[in-house]
Structure 1
Amino acid sequence: MIPFHELFFFVLAAFVLVISPGPNMIYLISKSITQGKKAGLISLTGVACGFLFHIIMVSFGLTAVLLAVPFAYTVLKTAGTLYLLYLAYQAVRPGRKNIFEVTENQTYDSPKRLFMIGFLTNVLNPKVAVFYLSFFPQFIKPGYGSVLFQSFELGIIQVLISFSVNFLIVLTAAKAAVFFSQNPVWIKVQKWFMAGILTFLAIKIAFSKAR
């Protein structure tokens, strides 16, 4: 089992990941606003299944790589640091579109199509794969037990956080769109707060000790 103080930083990182606008969030907000909460929830189910796909692939891959190639940890740590700094820049870069400015779409998709698009949107989302590959090694240590078990432990925690946050987003997407359109200052506050947290996590990973 991974100690609580280590899990705290992972939970923080997972939370920042899910509130950082990306393909999953944009898709869920779009469907929730244009087709209703039910369509958003079906899409969210597909997204959640996509996370499970990533967890299985990455967990077995990391178990093999980290045990066979110790140098891989340094490579993944560097990738994780750069990735977080990139996300921090993306959060505050000029001209970034408000994710709640969704183009209206009058076509209504079937439940099967909503699920599959949500699933594929997540499976093909490089942000998720990079997060798992660059972040999991920072919290996994052979001294804590099975590397594979630790990978699944982190994966399940990340899925629970992502599902909970996205569930709230689906339920409040329409109201949030109105709120942010009327209070643009909160968009700037959210962007800089997110960038600050991402930078802090990048620094923490950069100075973490190799195994």
Structure 2
Amino acid sequence: MIFMVSADRLLAFTAMSFLLILIPGPSVLFVIGRALAQGRRAALTTVVGNTVGAYTLVVAVALGIGSVVERSVVVFTALKLAGAAYLVYLGVKAWRERASLQASFTDVGASRGSLRTFWEGFTVGVSNPKTIVFFAAVLPQFVDRAQGHVAVQMLVLGLVFNLVAVVSDSAWGLVAATARDWFARSPRRLSLIGGVGGLTLIGLGVTVAVTGRKD
């Protein structure tokens, strides 16, 4: 049987992934912090580590949690609502703490080796609560059970997510590395980034809560 993800599901998942990735959450903040303190190379190495960590979560969901969620409407609904609530919580937290983003961006130690930078990026990626919630609660919604190969579909969709993440996170890092002084001079600009990100997270949480399987 030939595996296939329908175009509408793929586009919808890509759009939702883009919205989530674009929000400056833990991984993006870490990448920007590396860029501001150590430059482009450290930022891009961190992006690679983040991506590998995030895809580790995809594999875990596809081979374990995902199959349980896919078979049980009760488990799926409970996880979806918990995930939605947590996304709203993260959004409210980001909004309330938007004025303190400058400390997060500049609180980075001295330059480290590439391997250590990679593993630190991996740790942030694999432990990012926003990504964990998204993969566990949202990823199963875009699987077409009629096509079969549920785990493979999740792995493919997860790969799409990570490709979008590489592009977006790299862009954040390169811009931050190029404009270190511009960011550092204006706490108001950092506050605006955090505020917009918080509101977007809240909106995404509400969307997750009201959409998805009802069978």
Which TM-score tier does this pair reach, normalised by the shorter chain? 0.7 to 0.9
Q: State whether structure 2 residue 128 is matched by structure 1 residue 130.
A: no
**Alpha carbons of structure 1 residues 181 and 111: separation in structure 2 relative to 1, 3 Å:** closer
**Alpha carbons of structure 1 residues 101 and 191: separation in structure 2 relative to 1, 3 Å:** closer
Task: Pick which of 91-100 and 76-85 moved more.
Answer: 91-100
Contact 2:30 2:105 in 1 (8 A): no
Gaps of 5+ in 2: none
CA deviation profile, 1:16-64 (whole Å, cap 9, x unmatched):
3223333322222222222221122222221121122111111111343
Cα distance, 1:193 vs. partner?
Answer: 4.1
TM normalised by structure 1 equals: 0.83
Contact 1:44 1:166 in 2 (8 A): yes
Alpha-carbon distance in structure 2 between the residues aligned to 1:63 and 1:33: 37
For 1:24, the aligned partner's letter is: S
1:160 to 157, 160, 163: 163
1:148 to 148, 151, 154: 151
SS of residue matched to 1:98? helix
Contact 2:31 2:43 in 1 (8 A): yes
1:102 to 99, 103, 106: 106
Structure-2 residue corresponding to 1:13: 16
**Alpha carbons of structure 1 residues 60 and 26: separation in structure 2 relative to 1, 3 Å:** same
**Alpha carbons of structure 1 residues 95 and 186: separation in structure 2 relative to 1, 3 Å:** closer
2:7 to 1, 4, 9: 4
Q: CA RMSD in A?
A: 2.6
CA deviation profile, 1:156-210 (whole Å, cap 9, x unmatched):
1110111101111121113444334556665555445444443443333323242
SS of residue matched to 1:97? helix
**Alpha carbons of structure 1 residues 3 and 179: separation in structure 2 relative to 1, 3 Å:** farther
**Alpha carbons of structure 1 residues 188 and 31: separation in structure 2 relative to 1, 3 Å:** closer
Structure-1 residue corresponding to 2:39: 36
For 1:58, the aligned partner's letter is: V
Q: State whether structure 2 residue 199 is matched by structure 1 residue 205.
A: no
**Alpha carbons of structure 1 residues 97 and 176: separation in structure 2 relative to 1, 3 Å:** farther
Structure-2 residue corresponding to 1:75: 78
Contact 2:98 2:195 in 1 (8 A): no
* Count of residue pairs brought into register by the alignment: 210
SS of residue matched to 1:109? coil
Alpha-carbon distance in structure 2 between the residues aligned to 1:191 and 1:121: 19
TM normalised by structure 2 equals: 0.82
Gaps of 5+ in 1: none
Contact 1:23 1:125 in 2 (8 A): yes
Cα distance, 1:94 vs. partner?
Answer: 5.2
For 1:33, the aligned partner's letter is: L
Contact 1:76 1:137 in 2 (8 A): no
Cα distance, 1:142 vs. partner?
Answer: 0.9
For 1:141, the aligned partner's letter is: D
